[in-house]
Amino acid sequence: MSEPRNGATIFFLDPPTEEQWSQIQGVVDQVEWDVSHWNYFLILSRLPYAKAVVSVDDKGKYVGILVFAQPPSPHVSYVGLYIVSESCRGNGIGQRMWKLMKEHTDESRVLAIDSEGNMTDKYRAVEFPVPGPTWQEMSGPVAQLNASLQQAIQEKDCRFKIIDPNTVMDEVIKFDSKIMHLERPEFVQQFFRVADGKAIIAEDGSVVAIGATMPTFLHEKQIRIGPLYAENFNCMLMLLSALMHDVKQPEFLIMAPSETEKGRMFIDFLTEKSHSSLGSLFMRSFDRPYECPTEWSKVFALSFHVASPTMS
C-alpha cells in the first residue's frame, strides 16, 4: 500500500479477488473501452498471473486501475489496462500506480504494452522505445461479410471438419503454440470456455485453424471476431464462415495485423468485399528489443481485445 495523497490510496492486488475484478471492470466501463463488453474479466480472473494496481478514493471507490500479466512464459510483463477516472486525472495517480507496478515487476521481464493515439508517443518517449507489431481495427455489416464469404469460398474442402475446439483442446493448444510460439495452455483453455469457438481439423485429426467470436454485453449489435489462426487464406475463410453462421448481431468488429502480407490481404478483403471500414490503429511497444517468433503468415485476426493477458 502506498501513502494516501491526492485523496486516493494505491494498492497492489495479486491476484485480485472476484469482487475486486468487478470493481476494476467498473472503471473500464466508465471509458467504454470495447474490452469491458465481453468476458475479458472472467478470463483474467481465472489466470493466476494477472495482477492489478488500483487507486481507491476515501469512499472505497476505485478511481484508477492498472492491470498487468506476468505469465510463466513468455518472460514479459504485459500492461493490459491503465486508466484513471476522468475527474481524477492529472493529479499524479497514474504515475503512482505505474511506480507500484514497476516495484512488482522483475527487471528481467520485458515490458510490453499496447496503445493507440498519443499514448503510444508518450510510452515510446519514456519507457517503451522499441516498436512492436501494429493492428488495424475494422468494423462492418455481418450480412455483407457473409455474402462475401459465400462468394469467396468456391468449394468446401470435404477433407476438413469443423468442430468445437473444447472437444480437441490438446490439439488446439498445440496449434496455438505452433503459431504463437507461446506456452499458454491455461489462457487458451480459459479463452475457449468463454468464447464461441470453432476449430477445423484435417483427416489425420490435426488442427489446421482455430477461431472465435465473442458474446458482447453492452454493444448488443456488435460481435467481436478473433482470433483467426489458419494454415492458409482459404482455410481462414471457411473458419470465418462457420463462425459467422449463426451470428445475430448486425455488425462485426475485428483486429487484423496491419503490417504482414496475410494481414494486409485480409484487410483488403474486408474493405473491398465486405464493406468494412477502418477503425483505430493499435501499436505494441517494448522496453527493449524483443523477438516473439510468431508465424505471422497464419495469423489473420487477434483475439479481441489486444490487451490479451498473454500477448494476444
Ligand X SMILES: CC(C)(COP(=O)(O)OP(=O)(O)OC[C@H]1O[C@@H](n2cnc3c(N)ncnc32)[C@H](O)[C@@H]1OP(=O)(O)O)[C@@H](O)C(=O)NCCC(=O)NCCS
Among 7, 9, 26, 98, binds ligand X (CB under 6 A): 98
The least distance separating ligand X from the CB of residue 197, rounded to whole angstroms, comes to 28
Among 52, 93, 172, 255, binds ligand X (CB under 6 A): 93
Phi, psi of 106 (to 5 degrees): -60, 130
Query: For the packed helices 169-180 and 185-194, what is the interaxial angle rounded to 10 degrees?
Result: 120
Q: Decide whether 103 or 220 has the Cβ nearer to ligand X.
A: 103
- Give how many residues touch ligand X by CB under 6 A: 17
Does 105 sit near ligand X (CB under 6 A)?
A: no
Q: Decide whether 115 or 213 has the Cβ nearer to ligand X.
A: 115
Q: Interface mask (CB under 6 A) for ligand X, residues 57-86, using x and -?
A: -------------------------xxx--
Contacts of 180 by beta carbon, 8 Å cutoff, 6+ apart: 229, 292, 294, 295, 311, 312
Q: Decide whether 232 or 280 has the Cβ nearer to ligand X.
A: 280
Interface of this chain with ligand X, residues 112 to 141, rule: CB under 6 A: 115, 119, 122-123, 126
Does 87 sit near ligand X (CB under 6 A)?
A: no
The least distance separating ligand X from the CB of residue 254, rounded to whole angstroms, comes to 20
Q: Decide whether 115 or 303 has the Cβ nearer to ligand X.
A: 115
The least distance separating ligand X from the CB of residue 8, rounded to whole angstroms, comes to 9
Q: Decide whether 94 or 141 has the Cβ nearer to ligand X.
A: 94
Interface of this chain with ligand X, residues 209 to 228, rule: CB under 6 A: none
The least distance separating ligand X from the CB of residue 284, rounded to whole angstroms, comes to 11
The least distance separating ligand X from the CB of residue 252, rounded to whole angstroms, comes to 24
Distance, CA of 194 to chain centre = 14
Q: Interface mask (CB under 6 A) for ligand X, residues 30-59, using x and -?
A: -x----------------------------
> Would you tell me which residues interact with ligand X (CB under 6 A)?
31, 82-84, 89-95, 98, 115, 119, 122-123, 126
